[in-house]
Structure 1
């Protein structure tokens, strides 16, 4: 096979992998890896003429195309920073395939495919759990474009979707190979049957679950405010904060009534640098005015995002993320705040921070870089964080999971709220950074996934993009338009039942990590025998 034809196969896989992130159906991933699998088999067949690294280069080309086409919208924040992250992620993807290819060359095709599945899922798991998280290209997540196909995620989470996609690609490739080589009819029909079984059984099961899942009626009435503030021109002085406060109250008043349980507003709707001192909330003029507004209603409480800070008085209180200015040592936080009409507050600080924007990865090793970050205004820089999920509890006894922006990407983390008693989920976010791109649309998919995994209804407040309600089946309801000031109200149902995924988390990924370790040990032993 000529180099040109090999490159065509690499480009084909890269483009096919990108399409679901560009708005095409997620099921296109069921055959997107087939060109790469064909290439991998070719390099094994003619391994005498090609070193393993030859295949790595072809996968790297595919991975770069996939990363760029699927995530180009992130470059609106930083072309250099995001571009470097894309190349690094492509390098890791190619390395996973190279390891599986090496195992295929040295052992067998079956072990090579097992290695590919295990190592790829382990790689995705790493992307969720190290300090430079880049989980937005997880294969199983993008299947949320067709929510009826993935109702069984309540058992496996998104890693089950990744496993499904990889298995389908491998069995489809085996069928195509057997057909091209004119293998025996039995062999062709067996591989075709296996492919159809792996395709049909999960899909049919999911459709059945979708049409037979009914929410128990236990309503929570929520008013969602979408202020539509442009983050690129937003100001953070006192006057600007007053304008945003007036706008928030005006919009909330349009839909709030005596039956409203919560008024929900986006992430960091208030960001004045010196206004939101955690230790001075009792005298905060903004909270006093919001409290006065709440007194008009029987039971309404507010949940909204702020950029808060805490001043440390003793050296023993200092944290690794603390800053120093004007003789003060303090931490800044991306905070969700709940307020009731008695003036009582509950706070939660964002835990899953965005690398390069809200934190310096591995800060203990690179403490000198803690103020080096991509400045996108508002809450940025190395922030303080909360170590674990924390629910809000209303006066009427409703347990709410306050999920802030990027945290909605992490299935196991959101499930930890539910393990602690969350009956509904509130997602607050600011998707205005991505402008009118695929960014805010992709971000919404993660909230739909979390609804299916945990079977919790979601109210989602975005500064702009898509504010909406999401059912326990993952359906989007009352979605607002992009770049439009809006307020919506509706009811979501509480649920206290725990799904298998909520109880057991990413067990598929943990099993893949275990298998990957065994396979690497096997390679190590084989090398030194």
Structure 2
């Protein structure tokens, strides 16, 4: 059984508070608490409780481990996702109950194959197996049933810039694996004090690995600074339109006029020579739909056309990027009409200075927000939606299917590729990476977190999203209606390259729940790095997780029998 020394067992009742403590500590790692330092210790009480599980059969140990892990998960996700009560109390209960299953699966593994009492694996290897399986389960929940990968442990490194840089290897989930690896190794060493040499060696190896991770982060940041890059200036405009669930509380005309006024106000405040290359408005910024035929003919609501003409008038040419709905249309006698049975898309639109149009259709639709599976065969789901959202179901969007990047130019004529994302698609790394190409690129996200009021949802969303800039080594521009409007460089930094000021739109009190415009500047590498994550995607963490599970299984089979 390796070097693990059977210490005095904790009382049975203490295991449950220990699991709950881990859940609470993990919940406190994220906004609004942001106790991110807890990422180094939060899982230790849960591991201590699970490793002390004792039963005559592996099946019973797995069941007890699952129960402890599940309890911890319910507490963690209950705290993290409390903001769901803004739109659905039922959702705020059911989603944590579902997501906790993945913690329970980890608990079952840690109580059996990942238990030092049941394995001959060396401490450092067993810790690696535990970290790998945790990472694999985080990936699984980000993929299964369309996935919800929100707030993996690695997200807590959003304000630890040196360590965050390693996300370009296996994705941010690799950082979650790292956190569990360290905690498993430290706890194993603490409980194996009878063999002080091996325990000290284990701690020494973890220290070396941590030093390598920090060193890698420093090297990555320095190498990104040295890349030849072109400047891109983008004006982000945010209105902070009040909203109740899916319903905006302003009418369409007021929204359009407000975008005109706020954009003009921001443009007038700029210094000479600071004219933006791009102006960004958020998701579903303009209410009138874009009608587009299969051969590319298009038109849109007259008020939208007027608004875009008005914001351009009197200023140097710029590209405008904004969110709108797009309708599949057909042309009859020069008029555009919605095609019979035509699709409706949540779209990101790009209008060049010459008024050429490109659109991207959102891929990853929000269940019970933008689509309801099986609603035609189960119409009672409409009633549930109406009760929870306070509005009648208006029909599902159609998911997009193109993975071709969009393009836009700077005022100097440099063409920039755009990796598009809408709403929480910027928290889905496997989707964003499919748009990566050689040459200069920027990640552009338009979003609206207004569904969730002035809750912690917007901060959590942004902290999840910023890792896309690191994973892909592409700068990011992010424009929200209610949320966090900001610019990030390819290392995930908010700092403006010349002034060193944070590029995030806030009011005088530091709140991002405000209206206004923010001129941002990012340096776009002409030959950006090709990261391991961009190349292999989630296959890296999947392979590591499977290898960890299989090696743990082999170690168990060679070890203690029931």
TM-score by length of 2: 0.80
Aligned residue among 488, 492, 497 for 1:470? 488
2:349 equivalent among 337, 355, 380? 337
User: Using a 3 Å threshold, how does the CA distance of structure 1 residues 188 and 333 change in structure 2: closer, same or farther?
Assistant: same
> Is residue 5 from structure 1 mapped to residue 14 from structure 2 by the alignment?
yes
Shift of 1:202: 1.0
The residue aligned with 1:416 is: 434
Aligned to 1:282, what secondary structure does the other structure show?
strand
Matches within 5 A, 1:303-452: 303-311=321-329, 328-361=340-373, 363=374, 373=385, 375=389, 381-394=395-408, 396=413, 397-419=415-437, 423-452=441-470
Structure 1 counterpart SS, 2:179: helix
d(CA) in 2 for partners of 1:226, 1:378:
27
Distance 1:385 1:422 in 2: 27
Task: Give the SS at the match of 2:192.
Answer: helix
Per the alignment, residue 491 of structure 1 pairs with: 521
Residue 277 of structure 1: how far off its partner (Å): 2.7
How many angstroms apart in 2 are the aligned matches of 1:114 and 1:193? 15
Call closer, same or farther: CA 1:376–1:251 in 2, change over 3 Å: farther
- Kept in 1: contact 2:189–2:203 (CA 8 A): yes
Choose from 8, 15, 35 the match for 2:24: 15
Q: Secondary structure at the match of 2:487?
A: strand
**In the aligned structure 2, how far is the partner of 1:21 from the partner of 1:199?**
22
From 157, 161, 170, the counterpart of 1:156: 170
1:143 to 1:255, Cα distance in 2 relative to 1, 3 A: same
Secondary structure, counterpart of 2:17 in structure 1: helix
Matched, 1:177 2:177: no
Match of 1:503 among 527, 535, 542: 535
Task: Count how many residue pairs are aligned between Structure 1 and Structure 2.
Answer: 509
8 Å contact from structure 2 (residues 129, 548) kept in 1: yes
After superposition, the Cα gap between the structure-2 partners of 1:378 and 1:418, relative to the gap in structure 1 and judged at 3 Å, is farther
Change (3 A) 1:521 1:151: closer
Deviation at 1:236, TM superposition (A): 6.5
| Cα distance change of structure 1 residues 364 and 513 upon mapping to structure 2, 3 Å threshold | farther
* 2:191 partner SS: helix
1:460 to partner: Cα distance:
1.4
CA distance in 2, matches of 1:121, 1:55: 18
Structure 1 unaligned segments of length 5 or more: list them. 314-325
Q: What runs of 5+ residues in structure 2 fail to find an aligned partner? A: 1-9, 332-337, 495-501, 507-511
Contact 1:425 1:459 in 2 (8 A): yes
Q: Deviations over 1:466-487 (max 9, x none)?
A: 2121122211232112221110
SS at 1:90 equivalent: helix
Shift of 1:165: 0.8
Structure holding more helix per residue: 1
Pick closer, same or farther for the CA change 1:398–1:191 going to 2, 3 Å.
closer
Which residue in the other structure is 2:268 paired with? Answer: 254
Which among 201, 218, 226 is matched to residue 212 of structure 2? Answer: 201
Would the alpha carbon gap of residues 131 and 360 (structure 1) be closer, same or farther in structure 2, given more than 3 Å must change? Answer: farther
Which residue, 249, 265, 269 being the options, matches 2:281? 265
Which one of 82, 92, 105 corresponds to residue 82 of structure 1? 92
What corresponds to 2:104 in structure 1?
A: 94
Aligned residue runs from structure 1 range 66-145, under 5 A: 66-104=76-114, 108=119, 110=121, 116-145=130-159
Q: 1:489 to 1:379 in 2, by over 3 A?
A: farther
Change (3 A) 1:293 1:253: same
Return the TM-score normalized by structure 1: 0.85
How large is the Cα RMSD of the aligned pairs?
3.5
2:497 matched to which residue of 1? none
Say yes or no: does 1:229 pair with 2:236: no
CA–CA separation in structure 2 for the residues paired with 1:49 and 1:339: 60
1:109: how far off? 5.7
